[in-house]
Chains A and B, each alone.
Chain A
């Protein structure tokens, strides 16, 4: 069985602070995908990143960066110089690489980030 744990239920930061959202996962698969989605107050789900378990390189996209550590089963998400528009619920998710499970996402419970101006 797969499981994703986002231990931080809610986080508040002041604008321009850096913030890291934690994600820890459990899976018996040796290969898998990890995802982050953003859900702003308007409610839609916005895809942010997909990471293949083969690739442990960290990734940076503008103010966003992701730290994948297979040894600790973690896939943490850092927002640098946070902005009010970053206020949202962020979900970490896991799926298999291929076969029947590759399109079935297991989500964490989400972390609500509030950026205070």
Chain B
């Protein structure tokens, strides 16, 4: 099983450039999320989705857009990259069991550097 797949694994952007971080899962999970990990900060939630067509903001949404057109895919878009967005990005998915979410399954991460 592929699980949660993120591409690319590494990316260097110039300030002002745009790009999309891809996330796909093959487990038919309803819930998908994006987190960023910064040194000494743990992981912080950027955006999440409870199903196709439904997205919402997390703790640190500024500068990022998301969409969920299918159950499998949840891309994260940086419209105009800034050095403050240099981070490691993790996509996660989970499903509902008896009304509660299971543990989150994480992708391998995307290390983004904005210069």
Contact = CB atoms under 8 A, between A and B. Distances in A.
Interface of A: 4, 9, 33, 35, 37, 43-45, 47, 50, 91, 93, 95, 97-98, 100, 102-110
Interface string B68-109: 000000000000000000001010101010011111111011
Contacts, number: 60
Given A102-B101, A104-B48, 18 more contacts: A33-B101, A35-B103, A43-B88, A43-B108, A43-B109, A45-B106, A47-B104, A50-B103, A91-B43, A93-B43, A95-B101, A98-B100, A102-B100, A103-B33, A103-B48, A103-B94, A104-B45, A105-B43
Contact of A105 (B45, B88, B108): B45
A33 B94 CA distance: 14
Given A107-B43, A108-B42, A110-B42, A97 B104 contact: no
